[in-house]
Structure 1
Amino acid sequence: MISSQLLAYVAISAFCILNVSAMDTFIAAVYEHSVILPNATLNPASHEEALALMNQNLDVLEGAITSAAKQGAHIIVTPEDGIYGWVFTRETIYPYLEDIPDPQVNWIPCNDPSRFGHTPVQERLSCLAKKNSIYVVANIGDKKPCEANDPQCPTDGRYQYNTNVVFDSEGKLVARYHKQNIFMGEDQFNSPKKAEVVTFNTTFGKFGIFTCFDILFHDPAVILVKDFHVDTILFPTAWMNVLPHLSAVEFHSAWAMGMGVNFLAANIHHPLRKMTGSGIYAPDSPRAFHYDMKTEEGKLLLSELDSHLYRSVVNWSSYANSIEALSTGNQEFKGTVFFDNFTFMELKGVTGNYTVCHRDLCCHLSYKMSEKRSDEVYALGAFDGLHTVEGTYYLQICTMLKCGTTDLKTCGESVEAASTRFEMFSLSGTFGTQYVFPEVLLSEVQLAPGEFQVSSDGRLFSLKPTSGPVLTVTLFGRWYEKDWTSNASSELRAQALGLMISHSGL
């Protein structure tokens, strides 16, 4: 019979071993890659030509992976489209695709490269992870044949997926994710029939993964955090910045704070397409970020993060519902922000308290400027409705923003520079959703780490005077349940399609 003392000793020993193997912090890396693009052509490249182009990009990524590993990184994320670029048809993307198996097959491509056919890209990524003892996250294309009796099978007899892969520090394929929410113009790829929820565990936390446009939708992004309780999101992206609310560093850092997770965002670097903005974001503050519209160079970022997180609960409407409307007598006016019709009110004094409402959303702002400049105008805006351009999704937004000029008609335009600093601000709203993302963006599209926080009753407020002039202070709410409700009539859908066609022609 085993004694109770021996059992206790075994239990304590096992606990100690687990504690030693589990890490409280880890070093994360992301690489913003200036991708080498193929020649634009309607004729598919040969497999040899496609592989040669991909190897050129992999040569650059290898340098970043090796450098990150030497600096102690445990995991590195590389961008969406980072190995072959974009602007493909279904036919021209095909030579770049590989068959990517389910990770349950327990495969290390570096050790057994021919197990699943011709997979040179997966082999090279696996070997880079194994050689450098680092988790490698990359975005490539997957191909899967389908049968004619499958009613959704494309006419060319195959599904093609925008795919993230993760190889662990031994080179084993541990995750494969097929992008669910395909952006307009991504016709070379299919969406999976059902959103995939992909997680994997490490000694330094639990990870989830999705891609670019997925971040604006419930599945799988919210599910990963709410139901699967991941600590860190891995986010390859090819993000085109849209100010004032959807610049990459601005929105991705806000999503990390709003959802209470670490967020590793690796973007393409291509200023001509407004692509830049990568970062390593913790729930309390950005740890490292990069925004560069002036050079053509890539950028490696590293930072330490906590492996396991405690999530605080925010009632986003509590404070706003508890106070009276802040009446100023100022006249409201309408303005357009990325095709959405906001209700605005001009901030006329160096200090003030304002309320502006749109439908069921009322936004409250208290503020004090360092000075009231005559050459700059700021406004408080509210929007509660269905966004219908480049995607359809329901928004509730409270925003204080700098207008393009002193003409109120320019409030909501894309603005990158400002001169007005704020001594303090406090913004709240009567949100109908629990999913709200707090944004503070300074002049020249810079973040403000450690300069603001969110209270449990839903106020976004400053901790100190801003370190730079302010572009926007925003609470960006997503009401997922209302994306397609009875309010979204066929007439509205037709309007959305017309706006998208018009916008794509600009």
Structure 2
Amino acid sequence: MVFIQLCVAFLFLVFPVCKSQASDKYIAAVYEHALVFPDVTEKPITPAEALRMMNINLDILEKAVKEAAKKGARIIVTPEDGLHGWHFNRETIVPYTEDVPDPQVNWIPCKYPQRFGPAPVQERLSCMAKDSTIYVVANIVDRKTCNSSDPLCPSDGRYYYNTNVVFDSEGKLVARYHKYNLFTGEEHLNPPKEPEQITFDTPFGKFGIFTCWDIMFYDPAVILVNTLKVDTILFPTAWFNFLPHLSAVKIQSAWAMGMGVNFLSSNIHNTSIGMTGSGIYAPDKPREYYYNMETDEGKLLVSELDVHPKPSALYSVVDWNLYANSIKNFSPATNVTRVVIYFDEYMFTELTEAEGNISICHGDLCCHLTYRMAEKRKDEVYALGIFNGLHVVEGQFYLQICTLVKCKTTNMTTCGRPVETSSTFFKEFSLSGTFGTNYVFPEVLFSGVQLAPETFKVLKDGRLISQSSVSSKPLLTATLYGRCFLGLSLQHELIRLIAAGV
């Protein structure tokens, strides 16, 4: 009897502790999906044909959902455009669309599939979530009718929204997000009239959601973190890699680090168009990530995260221009090569020696680099680059960038062109700039487009430095990517000045 009492007492002591520990962490999954594209047609196919095509992709995604659930995942993120791709116009997209209701209607499509009209895709996603007891995040096209009483109503009487949906572990629709910042190739879709800031609560934290190119803008991305205080961002994407600065895993990892949140990113896998890069990121480092241009296979990533991640205390106290402003009597580079990278004109100056201190300035931004190579190779050229201005393609946003890059060839005009491999080791580097923003994202890539967060750190005075105590790898690029989030009126004035040649 005494033994039983002791056992009961032991259970009461142990289980609350175990429960508390379990609630502090959760397992998340993302799936990089090798999309099966439908045939491109000039006229719409039937809804039955479109559903048959989407079911091919849903079959693949369902296997990933089941595997993730078996591995203990509480939530899985699947890619943007992951059911049908993006080769559509306003007519041919129609059979792939469904009406997605406001989640406040309290709807489980798996149980009541016809409640809001035909919704076979939502029904199947709901059943995936319910049957595997896991939150499922997917991307579909929401169709909404409108009429002449709406002055913005398209001429065909319908809005088509790039839409993320989230179903909880009971199959209930708990979140719907309409992508606001559309990209080239989405002319058949509509943005919502205003950006949406969508959050939902779970037993394992508060989540926010946005899509692909939204990451480059203040609203909704930054608002979800700074104002709405989410723990984790869900990021379905169909991201084309734009090396050196907009590689998928590089920007995803930097965003998680810089904003101090978990970040779950699921990308399409299509190496023929340079599309790969998914991951599970915490503020301190990537927990799992995937970048692979050698295979046509999809990939499931599963990893444990903190329910309430602790942002690096450092990032809240970094003065991003302190060190750079303290440098006196420097001589800005005079031998400058101008190169256009993703529609922006950068200025580059070559690292001509195996070690040194160099600077380059543009307007109120000056970038400073101290470095030491293991050796100065004749077949590889590195350069310090700068961009300080308004990017006006695919939206408008102000950038301040200091970057150390490997050039594609020994010709300086190739600096900033995509390159994935290198052979030069840097024993040390220190990169800083006179930034006019606190939103500065550190990005470091090594040969093979690989992350290695343990090999660098950011100091309180704004320097991005290598960790000499850690064995380095051949460097591709080290970048401080600054984002200046301006008011619309100031952006418009900058555009006017640029157009006027001021």
Quick one: distance in 2 between partners of 1:408 and 1:275? 27
Cα distance in 2, alignment partners of residues 78 and 352 from structure 1: 46
- Which residue in 1 is equivalent to 2:360? 356
The aligned residue for residue 231 of structure 1 is 231
> What TM-score does the superposition give when structure 2 sets the normalisation length?
0.92
Aligned-partner Cα distance in 2 for 1:79–1:366: 40
1:165 is paired with a residue of what secondary structure?
strand
Corresponding residue for residue 56 of structure 1: 56
Structure 1 residue 315: Cα displacement: 2.5
Aligned partner letter, 2:340: T
Per-residue CA deviation, residues 323-352 of structure 1 (Å, 9 max, x unaligned), is: 325448763332332232222221122222
Measure the CA separation in 2 of the matches of 1:482 and 1:371.
46
CA contact (8 A) 1:237 1:266 kept: yes
| Matching of residue 23 in structure 1 with residue 23 in structure 2 | yes
Kindly indicate whether the alpha-carbon contact (under 8 Å) linking 2:389 and 2:399 is maintained by their aligned counterparts in 1: yes
- Residue matched to 1:41: 41
The answer to whether the 8 Å contact 1:387/1:395 transfers is yes
Counterpart in the other structure of 2:499: 492
Out of 367, 380, 384, which is 1:380 matched to?
A: 384
SS at 2:218 equivalent: coil
Matches of 2:467 and 2:288, distance apart in 1 = 20
Corresponding position of 2:173 = 173
How many angstroms does 1:466 deviate by?
5.4
Q: Which amino acid aligns with 1:407?
A: N
Worse overlay, 230-239 or 484-493: 484-493
Residue 419 of structure 2 aligns to a residue whose secondary structure is: coil
Letter in 2 for 1:398: C
Query: 1:231 Cα shift?
Result: 1.0
1:58 is displaced (CA, Å) by 0.4
Matching of residue 462 in structure 1 with residue 469 in structure 2: no
Runs of 4+ aligned structure 1 residues displaced above 4 Å come to: 16-22
Secondary structure at the aligned position of 2:395 is classed as coil
Q: Which amino acid aligns with 2:364?
A: D
Shift, 1:446, TM fit: 1.2
Equivalent-residue separation in structure 2 for 1:53 and 1:273 (angstroms): 21
Q: Could you state the TM-score of these two structures normalised by the residue count of structure 1?
A: 0.91
Find the counterpart in structure 2 of residue 471 from structure 1: 476
- 2:203 equivalent in structure 1: 203
Aligned to 1:502: none
Deviation larger for 274-283 or 478-487: 478-487
CA displacement at 1:158 relative to structure 2: 1.2
2:401 counterpart of 1:401: no
Partners of 1:323 and 1:276 lie apart in 2 by: 40
Q: CA deviation at 1:203?
A: 1.6
CA distance in 2, matches of 1:221, 1:406: 38
Structure 2 unpaired stretches of 5+:
1-15
Contact 2:333 2:359 in 1 (8 A): no
1:384, 1:69 → 2: CA distance? 46
Give the C-alpha shift of residue 385 in structure 1. Answer: 0.6
State how far apart, in whole Å, the 2-side matches of 1:204 and 1:457 are: 35
SS in 2 for 1:147: coil
Q: Once the 2 structures are TM-superposed, how far is the Cα of residue 212 of structure 1 from its aligned partner?
A: 0.4
Q: Deviations over 1:376-433 (max 9, x none)?
A: 1111111101123343321100000011111112212221111101111111111111
Q: CA deviation at 1:176?
A: 0.3
Amino acid in the other structure paired with 1:347: L
Residue 289 (structure 2) pairs with residue 289 (structure 1) = yes
Local SS of the residue matching 2:325 = helix
Equivalent position SS for 2:454:
coil
Taking the aligned partners of 2:321 and 2:126, their CA distance within structure 1 comes to: 47
Deviation at 1:318, TM superposition (A): 2.2
| Match of residue 140 from structure 1 | 140
In 2, distance between residues paired with 1:214 and 1:436? 17
2:186 alignment counterpart: 186
Letter in 1 for 2:347: T
The 8 Å contact of residues 86 and 185 in structure 2, kept in 1 or not, is answered as no
Indicate if the aligned counterparts of 1:32 and 1:79 stay in contact, CA closer than 8 A. yes
Q: Could you tell which deviates more after superposition, 33-42 or 406-415?
A: 406-415
Alignment gaps of 5+ in structure 1: 1-15, 496-506
Is residue 282–residue 309 contact of structure 2 (8 Å, CA) maintained in 1?
no
| C-alpha distance in 1 between matches for 2:109 and 2:130 | 10
1:273 Cα deviation (Å)? 1.4
Distance 2:454 2:294 in 1: 26
The one-character-per-residue Cα deviations of 1:359-381 (angstroms, maximum 9, x if unpaired) are 11111112121211111111111
The match for 1:500 is none
Deviates further, 480-489 or 75-84: 480-489
